[in-house]
Amino acid sequence: MVKTVKSVLVSLIALSIMLLFVSCTGSGPSGPRAAVIELFGAMEKNDQAALAHLLDLSALMKNSEFDYTLSTEDEPRQFSSPIEILEDMTGDGLTKKRWFSFQRIVNQVEFFGNTATVEVTFIDNKNSKSYLTKFGVHVVNEKWKIYTFKAE
């Protein structure tokens, strides 16, 4: 009986250590939806380092077709460096101000192999409007990274 209790305790301790190890080594988000949720958390904390790990900045730099601030302006803004994107999404950046003036709801995920779309709804309660978009997320170095804020 003592041997059984001892072996159960050893097994539980081993399992606990293994679970602790797994939780500590999980450096990236566990999926596309988690990456989007972490993005909003990093924006709220003005954590540019975390944003740099969640965003595919080189892919975002190539965007020239639309302005992801949900703006109605005709001309999309062009960013000349990844730092400009990070500054736009933190502090007094236009994207942060605009997105955080709305209620944000992270909806369903659609998978397409190593890419996915995450549906995000921005709700403007003041003007009774909502904006639906899909963030494009793909796997880069075994981590999910956001490469566009307007996936088709």
H helices of the chain, where?
2-25, 32-44, 48-54, 57-61, 82-88, 94-100
φ/ψ (deg, to 5) at 63: -65, 125
- The predicted-structure confidence for 51-79, as pLDDT tens digits, reads as follows 999 999 999 988 767 666 655 555 667 78
| Cβ-based neighbours of 16, under 8 Å, separated by 6 or more | none
- Residue ranges of domains in the chain: 29-148
φ/ψ (deg, to 5) at 58: -65, -40
- The predicted-structure confidence for 15-29, as pLDDT tens digits, reads as follows 444 444 434 334 445
- CATH architecture of the region 29-148: Roll (3.10)
Return the pLDDT at 78. 76
Q: What is the pLDDT along the chain (152 residues), one digit of tens a residue?
A: 555 555 544 444 544 444 444 343 344 458 999 999 999 999 999 999 999 999 999 999 887 676 666 555 556 677 889 999 999 999 999 999 999 999 999 999 999 999 999 999 999 999 999 999 999 999 999 999 999 998 87
